[in-house]
Amino acid sequence: MKLKYARRVAIAAAVAGFLGCVAMLARGAAQHGMPYTSVDHPNFVATADATFMSDSDLLIGIASGDMAKAYPAALLAQHGVVADQMSDGPIAITW
């Protein structure tokens, strides 16, 4: 049961980071002329809305207390780092 819940939360978090930041990141990279632009303050979506993710997609996940988040490895490979928040403070996810 916990594994299914964690997987759903992970997919939801991954989708959110991807959907919420792609356009913003593209603008930032162009402005700075750098190959990577960080994703800052990603938006998250419900697992049910993560229909573009597949079972074979790689995710990087983190859990603390009752909060769990996941980020698509493809997004991290493209942007290098995600700056986010957990309940106990800021985090940086890299790939």
Q: pTM to 2 decimals?
A: 0.60
Q: In total, how many domains does the chain have?
A: 1
Q: Which domain holds residue 69?
A: 2-49+56-94
pLDDT for the residue numbered 6 = 55
pLDDT band at 21 (very low <50, low <70, confident <90, very high): very low
CB contact at 8 A, 47 and 11:
yes
Nearest to 95 by CA among 75, 68, 66: 75
